[in-house]
Structure 1
Amino acid sequence: MIVIDDWFFNYGTTNITARRKSILQFLDYVYEKERPDQSKMYLQFGKGGVKNYLYYFRDKCLNEKQTYE
């Protein structure tokens, strides 16, 4: 979670409330895209996977003003 929080902060989301909302939106986005089976408790990204998702999320969602900011 720290990597995701740092990424959003460095991207420019310095307001803590807006950052938390963006993080929740991001996790919801990843969950919908991956659709893990019910036996898995956690989302797993693999090496470099979380950053790839973050950049894609930024391009498709943040740049289209679909966040809470």
Structure 2
Amino acid sequence: MRMLNSIFKDCSDDIKIASTIKHTLTNATLRERVAYFIPKKDALVDTNNNIINIAMEIVSILSNVPAAS
């Protein structure tokens, strides 16, 4: 969730400063918009994969713990 909030904050910050550059997301072409969002999507996918890998490691560790009796 923090990563998602970070991405939204980055987008928000970029939009705030966009008015000072030639193209903003509002008047950018579709190609420019795609180029802007692809790295952010890729970062989110990487984070999601890391979370899944960590969860799988935790399950593996917990499955090797003897049951309490």
- TM-score bin, normalised by smaller chain: 0.3 to 0.5
Larger radius of gyration: 2
> What's the TM-score, normalizing by structure 1?
0.33
Between the two structures, name the one with larger relative contact order (CA 8 Å, sep ≥ 6): 1
How high is the TM-score relative to the length of structure 2?
Answer: 0.33
